[in-house]
Amino acid sequence: MKHLQHLLIIFALWLPATLIATEVSVIPAYDEIQGGTSVVYDIRIFDVNVLEGFDLRVTYSATDFADVSATAGNFLSGNPNDLQFIADYSTPGEIFITCTLLNGQNGASGNGVLAHLHLTSQMINHSTGSPITLFNVELRNIYNQTIPC
């Protein structure tokens, strides 16, 4: 009976820790901006352990935004020379971003900014509510294993 109690206590301590999932999101989740305004939104990560790299696709309305670009955040490294950061803008309304720590670097853990999205809103005659959406988010740890999110 005593072994069962110990097992239940261990399970009770272990289960909540396993339910904490890594999350990737665009911050702010909602924003109202005027036409012609330039904004920067962060792609943030929460509760990750030893992240070494990531791939993701960002979609947005090409008719609502212009001058779209992406730059590396400082979560993986504050030194851009430690990163291979590539943003592909070849499809209007979509950015494919990939980023990897270069050799000799440790993975990053915790919370932080993966990338910054730079956008300028177009002058439009109506409110459209343009979503900025993340798709195909793939996170990799230092062993090149996928981190669920």
Residue 126 — very low, low, confident or very high, per pLDDT cuts 50/70/90?
low
Q: Which two tokens stand for residue 77?
A: 């490294």
Residues 6 or more apart whose CB falls under 8 angstroms from that of 67 comprise 38, 118, 119, 120
Q: What is the mean pLDDT of the chain?
A: 83
What integer pLDDT is reported at residue 22 of this predicted model?
92
Residues 103-142 as b or e (16 or more Cβ within 10 Å = b): eeeebbeeebebbebebebbeeeeeeebebeeeebebbbe
pTM comes to: 0.82
What integer pLDDT is reported at residue 28 of this predicted model?
83
Strand boundaries in 1-149, DSSP class E: 23-27, 38-59, 65-72, 83-88, 94-101, 108-121, 133-141, 146-147
φ/ψ of residue 124, rounded to 5 = -125, 160
Q: What is the pLDDT of residues 15-55, one digit of tens each?
A: 444 456 899 999 887 777 888 889 999 999 999 999 999 99
In this predicted structure, the answer to whether residue 7 has a pLDDT above a threshold of 50 is: no
Residue 71 — very low, low, confident or very high, per pLDDT cuts 50/70/90?
very high
Q: What is the pLDDT of residues 79-104, one digit of tens each?
A: 989 999 999 999 999 999 999 999 76
With vertex at residue 92, the alpha carbon angle to CA 89 and CA 95, rounded to the nearest 5 degrees, is 40
User: What letter does residue 125 receive in the DSSP assignment?
Assistant: S
Residue 125 — very low, low, confident or very high, per pLDDT cuts 50/70/90?
low
What integer pLDDT is reported at residue 30 of this predicted model?
77
Cα dihedral 80/71/114/81 (nearest 10): -10
> What's the CA gap between 121 and 76, in Å, rounded?
29
Q: Which two tokens stand for residue 62?
A: 């090409």
